[in-house]
Amino acid sequence: MMIHTTLGNLMDHIMNMLESYASTLEDEVAERTKELIEEKKKSDILLYRMLPRQVADRLKLGQSVEPEAYECVTVFFSDVVSFTTIASKGTPLQVVNLLNNLYTIFDSIIDEHDVYKVETIGDAYLCVSGLPNRNGQEHVKEISSMSLAFMKSLLGFRIPHLPNEILNLRIGFHTGSVVAGVVGLSMPRYCLFGDTVNTASRMESNGKPGMIHISAAANNLLREVGGYETEPRGEVIIKGKGVMETFWLLGPASENPSSQIEPGHSKPNVRCAPEDNSSLLSAEYKSK
């Protein structure tokens, strides 16, 4: 009788230990699963910052992403005026902090517009509207609104290590056709290809501090969609392009009534002309 009682107590003890182990294991699996889900969310956020969401989702599924042609988009470039001089007056850490503060502001402005940030290289900022989500002719208005917001955001901005100096931008954009695609496997990048990218870069590099320099194509589309005032700059010699007629974007038309099209004058019928997208890459703007 004593043997049976002892055996029963031993079995009960073993069962209790197994139940406790199973419960602990379940809790640990649940905790690990929760951590895995959180890490996956973090990696998805990082991936979506590197690539457009629909492109990233296809890559996650192991699907190929073919290059896609976009007939009409607006490409934007900005550059910090005298950035080399500003950088030379501070430590590398101070320069990093400056750009981080500046781009944090710019990124928040982009979030309020239908604009995709393609890349930043040093103080150069490249954005586009009209892809990967096509938005009709709204892309030129989105870039115009964003450009003006960028300029306005600098009014209260101060360089941390040079508080008495004012930061200024040159901005330029152009409207035309591009091809967009993913380049690279280990570190995929969403890149723009086409002469439109090069022309937009030239608009920026040939602009003036504190001004928004736009091409005739962008100006014509802005006139068609309305809402903004521009001013002719005249003919400008553009490297690699020859003589081009360009314009300054001044601001919203509501603040400048004179910008409205006069009675009896119709809006221009604007369409983006196809361009040769075979040779010029988004990286070409580095050689200004």
Per-residue pLDDT in tens (0 to 9) along the chain, 288 residues: 555 556 567 677 677 777 777 777 777 787 787 777 777 777 777 777 778 888 888 877 777 788 899 999 999 999 999 999 999 999 999 999 999 999 999 999 999 999 999 988 888 999 999 998 899 999 999 999 999 999 999 998 989 889 888 899 999 999 999 999 988 777 788 899 999 999 999 999 999 999 999 999 999 999 999 999 999 999 999 888 899 999 999 999 865 444 444 434 444 455 665 554 444 444 444 444
What pLDDT sits at residue 271?
Answer: 60
Confirm if 115 and 167 have CB atoms less than 8 A apart: no
What pLDDT sits at residue 279?
Answer: 41
Fold of 65-286: Alpha-Beta Plaits (3.30.70)
Q: Where are the domains of the chain?
A: 1-50, 65-286
CB atoms within 10 A of CB 269: 7
| φ, ψ dihedrals at 180, nearest 5° | -120, 140
Q: Which of 75, 57, 43 is nearest to 191 (CA)?
A: 75
CA end-to-end distance (rounded Å), the chain: 97
Q: What whole-number distance in Å separates Cα of residue 121 and Cα of residue 101? A: 15
